[in-house]
Amino acid sequence: KGARRGRECRQLKLGGIRATELVEQFGSPLYVVDEDQTRATAREIRDALRSEAQRIGTDAKVYYASKAFLCVEVARWMDEEGLPIDVASGGELAVALAAGVDPQNIGFHGNNKSEAEIARAIEVGIGTIIIDSEIEVERIAAAASAAGRTQSVRLRVNSGVHASTHDYLATAHEDQKFGMPLSEAPAMVRKIVAHENLNFLGLHCHIGSQIFATEGFRESAERLLSVYGELSEITGGPIAELNLGGGFGIAYTPDQAGEAPDVREIARQLADIVKQACDDAGLPLPKLAFEPGRAIVGQSGVTLYTVGTTKRVQLAGSDAAADPADHGYGERIYVSVDGGMSDNARPALYGSDYHVRIANRVSDAEPALVRVVGKHCESGDIVVYRDELPGDVSPGDVLAVAATGAYCWSLSSNYNYVPRPPVVALRNGEARIIVRGETENDLLALSVTE
């Protein structure tokens, strides 16, 4: 951190279009997503995971975890690229269906799906429902019999692996709300197979999100497979699937570029582990399944903002530069932009890092330490905690914040009655709106006035 990257040398283009042109046409702030890149990344990840599974003699299904970013267009892209969709609510299900996704290609997650959501999912013929608790076994079986259907289900378990990521993003240690302890899997599967209208596909585990260390994935696969022999005795046949969730981390800043895991490498290691574990236990190979979200859309998104005010805070000799990374800088420029935690809650929620640059002009000014902040009434309203920009950054400049494709629009809010910005997709050098921006009237319309 803090390494000087040198001076800005060109105006920023996104998908072949100048960032300033996008802001002129669609306004600021603006979410921009590169459709070509998103599709290419989806194909690349799908192919990496599938070809490694095929190498060991099985296959893999790669779902898109739609919570990362979903709208009708994105669901269509994934569908066209051959990725089934993972949803976690009735709302996400409705978007996937509106996009024309075959319900059989949808998986439904959640630790507290409502009875109405379960009934709707079964009624439309959803491919799989991931059971998250014992209570859901009965609920799903009852809904399936009411609909006169047989429902395929997976069982979410905690592998007990402690993924090295932010606490809020780790989901496979024992003391958290998702899934069942692995030790309870046999009892749960007994309950599942007691229902004729439930078809048990296999275990599911998602160890967390934004994970850089690959051991967790391997360890989880091994732990889950260690009960497959026992489970197949209960079901009376081989267990069809092993779903290892998503969570592949991405680089948010240039410093992280070399550290983020390569999905092909994870796939290769996992395939080897799965093959070994199955061979050792004399088990048939299950089909593998994955559900990455961030790794597919994260890096194809950029948010454009316009600078409103700047303010200089002296660090030298004050207590301001509490962070050693700031030592050596005389001052920090607070650069306020026209959005903030309402369009990107991640820095406030997880202390996430982002990378910013000036998009509208070339500057010869010396790099200065900046903190890009939003317009909301909270000091935690930070867009970029620490980065460098040319020292002459000033009102009217357009800033581009990289890697905002995942969990930015989807976690957005209307805090302070700030309308959500639109999302523009870039393809073949052309830009089009795929999610409309909100207006003040949209927000006012929510208040009951009579």
Which of the stretches 35-43, 291-299, 335-343, 383-391 binds ligand LLP when contact is defined by CB under 6 A?
291-299
Q: Residue 292, annotated ligand binder?
A: yes
- Return the structure tokens found at 17: 């279009």
Residue among 57 and 351 whose Cβ is closer to ligand LLP: 351
Which ranges constitute the DSSP H helices of 125-226? 134-147, 185-193, 215-225
Q: Residue 81, annotated ligand binder?
A: no
Q: If we measure between CA atoms, which residue out of 219, 212, 325 comes closest to residue 273?
A: 219
> Of the candidates 49, 68, 172, 277, which one interacts with ligand LLP according to CB under 6 A?
68
> Of the candidates 294, 332, 375, 376, which one interacts with ligand LLP according to CB under 6 A?
294
Q: Residue 346, annotated ligand binder?
A: yes
Q: How far is the CB of 165 from ligand LLP (least distance, A)?
A: 9
Q: Is 209 in the site for ligand LLP (CB under 6 A)?
A: yes
Q: How far is the CB of 267 from ligand LLP (least distance, A)?
A: 14
> Of the candidates 246, 286, 339, 347, which one interacts with ligand LLP according to CB under 6 A?
246
Question: Burial level of 44, CB count in 10 A (0-12/13-18/19+)?
Answer: middle
Q: Residue 350, annotated ligand binder?
A: yes
CA 100, CA 125: separation in Å to the nearest integer? 13
Identify the active-site residue in 71, 278, 377, 408. Answer: 377
Whether the CB-CB separation of 397 and 358 falls below 8 Å is answered with: yes
Q: Residue 4, annotated ligand binder?
A: no
Q: If we measure between CA atoms, which residue out of 157, 142, 154 comes closest to residue 199?
A: 154
Q: Is 407 in the site for ligand LLP (CB under 6 A)?
A: yes
Which of the stretches 13-21, 133-141, 285-293, 392-400 binds ligand LLP when contact is defined by CB under 6 A?
285-293
Q: Is 375 in the site for ligand LLP (CB under 6 A)?
A: no
Residue among 248 and 409 whose Cβ is closer to ligand LLP: 248
Q: Which residue has the tokens 């998602």?
A: 206
Question: Burial level of 171, CB count in 10 A (0-12/13-18/19+)?
Answer: buried
- Dihedral of CA 405/410/411/416: which sign? positive
Residue among 26 and 252 whose Cβ is closer to ligand LLP: 252
CA 330, CA 315: separation in Å to the nearest integer? 5
* Count of positions on this chain that bind ligand LLP (CB under 6 A): 22
Q: Is 424 in the site for ligand LLP (CB under 6 A)?
A: no
CA 282, CA 148: separation in Å to the nearest integer? 37
Q: Is 113 in the site for ligand LLP (CB under 6 A)?
A: no
Question: Burial level of 365, CB count in 10 A (0-12/13-18/19+)?
Answer: middle
Report which secondary-structure segment, H or E, holds 53.
helix 35-55
Q: Residue 293, annotated ligand binder?
A: yes
- Which residues are 398's β-sheet partners? 306
Q: Give the contact letters, 18-57, x = binds to ligand LLP (CB under 6 A), - = no.
A: ----------------------------------------
Q: Is 245 in the site for ligand LLP (CB under 6 A)?
A: yes
Contacts of 69 (CB under 8 A, 6+ apart): 33, 293, 297, 301, 405, 406, 407, 408, 409, 410
Q: Is 109 in the site for ligand LLP (CB under 6 A)?
A: yes
Q: Residue 291, annotated ligand binder?
A: yes
Q: Is 216 in the site for ligand LLP (CB under 6 A)?
A: no
| 205 labelled catalytic | no
Which of the stretches 40-48, 213-221, 286-294, 325-333 binds ligand LLP when contact is defined by CB under 6 A?
286-294
Residue type present at position 388: E
> Of the candidates 46, 346, 355, 375, which one interacts with ligand LLP according to CB under 6 A?
346
Report which secondary-structure segment, H or E, holds 350.
helix 346-350
- Beta 356-358 vs 430-435: how paired, if at all? unpaired
Annotated binding site for substrate: 294, 346, 350, 378, 407
Q: Which residues are catalytic?
A: 377
Site of interaction with ligand LLP (CB under 6 A): 65, 67-68, 86, 109, 169, 206, 209-210, 245-248, 291-295, 346, 350, 407, 411
| Binding residue ranges for pyridoxal 5'-phosphate | 247, 291-294, 407
